[in-house]
Amino acid sequence: MNVERYLMDKIRKEKVHLTLIDPAKQEPLKAGEIAEKIEDSGSDGIMIGGSTNITNKIMDETILKIKERSSLPVMIFPSGISSISRHADAIFFMSMLNSSSREFLIDHQVMASRAIKIMNIEPISMAYLVVEPGMTVGKVGKAILIKRDDMDSAVSYALAAQYFGFHFVYLEAGSGAPEPVPESMVKAVKNEIGIPLIVGGGIRDPEKAMKLAEAGADVIVTGTLVERSDNYDEIIRKIVNSIKNVKY
Ligand code: 1GP
């Protein structure tokens, strides 16, 4: 499967929902169960990754269990070279454009590129922008956080990403953020760019997801809620339904 084509075909028709599974947060068996349930709830794909305690072994084992229970594409959401697994369908080949450290801008990517080629994992180019509060990923990635009211910076970074040739822009508030990226920022960025916009961090209910989709998010990512709620499959079903009804 060509995952980027799968995503683009969907994005042309409707809003897309991706579920982030952090392999460090549960046993592989449980991750498999989550994958099956969220597929049933209508989620369109699985991102796998986390900011801390990620090893190649835990990635491999988790992806294999996910693959046993779900046919959704599995995309690595990497934090470094230890996130790489030959069992994934694709990897978001991303640069945190507002990192103050070249490590997250280019060094990890240089270290990983040949392994990705040898393992035949599809790279999907993505610019990653971390907005306040940024949470763990903001700290680990040494981000110069985009302020929540700084539309100018958000738009300028996103346009720079497009001009560099990145295929996707991700506006990230940080996993577990109390509030997602402001709708006004999503709108401002979407108005100026011509590449798909992914929004994640702090999205936990259908109303918020719908508002962000209406503001212009092409892809909505939710992660933490599968860890925090027993009825996550119902919540994800509602989120998926709320964004799929949003028309362009
Ligand atoms: C992580 O933005 C995603 O990149 C998910 O965030 O865990 O808050 O849903 P949550």
- The domain spanning residue 170 has which CATH number? 3.20.20.390
CA–CA separation, 68 and 78 (whole Å)? 22
Give the mutation target among 25, 203, 220, 226 for probing the ligand 1 site: most ligand atoms within 8 A of CB. Answer: 203
State the alpha helices, DSSP H only, in the chain.
3-13, 28-40, 56-69, 102, 108-118, 135-140, 151-164, 183-192, 206-215, 225-228, 232-244
Q: Which of 93, 89, 90, 24 is nearest to 62 (CA)?
A: 24
Q: In whole angstroms, give the CA distance from residue 242 to residue 207.
A: 7
pLDDT score, position 1: 83
Question: What one-character DSSP code corresponds to residue 82?
Answer: G
Q: Determine, yes or no, domain membership for 247.
A: no
Closest atom of ligand 1 relative to the 203 alpha carbon: 9
Section 188-207 average pLDDT: 98
- CA 174 → CA 138, 180, 193, distances in Å? 7, 8, 22
Q: Which two tokens stand for residue 55?
A: 């090893």
Q: How far is the CA of 174 from the centre of ligand 1 (A)?
A: 6
| Band of pLDDT at residue 92, cut at 50, 70 and 90 | very high
* pTM exceeds 0.85: yes
Residue 221 lies in a domain: yes
156 CA to centre of ligand 1 in angstroms: 23
Kindly report, residue by residue over 95-127, the tens digit of the pLDDT. Answer: 999 999 999 999 999 999 999 999 999 999 999
Q: Is residue 88 part of a domain?
A: yes
CA pair distance 181, 132, nearest whole angstrom: 8
Which of 77, 129, 171, 172 is the best mutation target for the ligand 1 pocket, counting ligand atoms within 8 Å of the beta carbon and taking the most?
A: 172
Write out the residue range of the structural domain in which residue 27 sits: 3-242
pLDDT > 70 in the chain, percent = 100
Q: Select the more confidently predicted residue: 55 or 1.
A: 55
pLDDT above 80: residue 154:
yes
Stretch among 45-54, 159-168, 205-214 having the lowest mean pLDDT:
45-54
Q: What is the pLDDT of residue 248?
A: 62
Q: How far, in Å, from the CA of 223 to the mean position of ligand 1?
A: 5
Write down the pLDDT at residue 247: 79
Closest Cα to residue 130, out of 139, 117, 118? Answer: 139
From the CA of 122, how far away is ligand 1's center (Å)? 22
Q: Is residue 248 part of a domain?
A: no
Mean predicted lDDT score pLDDT of the chain: 97
Q: Is a pLDDT exceeding 80 seen at residue 56?
A: yes
Q: pLDDT by residue (tens digit) across 232-246?
A: 999 999 999 999 989
Residues with CB under 6 A from ligand 1: 20, 172, 175-177, 200-203, 221-224
What are the Cα distances from residue 221, in Å, to 150, 174, 236? 22, 11, 10
Contact of 108 with 82, CB cutoff 8 Å: no
Residue 177 clears pLDDT 70, i.e. is over it: yes
| Domain count within the chain | 1
